[in-house]
Amino acid sequence: MALTLDTIVSKEFSNAAAGGYDRNEVDDFLDEILEEMENREKESDSLKKQIADLKEELANAQSQLAEAKSVKAEVRPAYTDTHSSESFELVMNKARSVYDDIVSEAKAKAEGIIGDANQEAANLRTTAQKQITDLSDRLTSLRRQASDYYEQLAKVIEKQNESMSDLKRLL
């Protein structure tokens, strides 16, 4: 079963016949888990939106690149004389250089944005995994404490029963 915010909110525990967990402690702990999951869900939604925005930005850059390539292919020299042809060649070389610089810069920017987003997502995953581990360790500790408490309580009850038996024998 997948653990969702709704399952945490609606989870109820039955009362144990001889003891059980302190309902307030369980409720408090579930509240902490619920709050943490709500925070993770908000972060996840935020990252999904950021990734969608980056994909849109990348698509726009790719569209501009395709448009620039089509414009580059359509440009042809209008004059055939040698002087005009040389001038046109110089302009075309400069335009190609500017075009190549723009494309390079756009690709580098897109790669940087995607790299930053991937790194942030990895950092968030690592933090979330550490917090889950910490919460699991805390739950294990609480279970161990409850077990120790029940063992001590059983010993006390056993000693009281022995004392009651001894008292009955004396009477």
Tens digits of pLDDT across the chain (171 residues): 566 777 777 777 666 656 677 778 878 878 888 888 888 889 889 999 988 888 888 888 888 888 877 776 665 544 455 666 777 788 888 888 888 888 888 888 888 888 888 898 888 888 888 888 888 888 888 888 888 888 998 999 999 999 999 888 887
Query: What is the count of structural domains for the chain?
Result: 1
Residue 148 counted as domain residue: no
Residue 163 counted as domain residue: no
Contact 5, 37 (CB under 8 A): yes
Cα separations in angstroms, 12 against 15, 30, 58, 115? 10, 10, 47, 43
Residue 47 counted as domain residue: yes
Residue 56 counted as domain residue: yes
**pTM (2 decimals)?**
0.38
Residue 54 counted as domain residue: yes
Residue 10 counted as domain residue: no
Which structural domain range is residue 93 located in? 24-133
Residue 124 counted as domain residue: yes
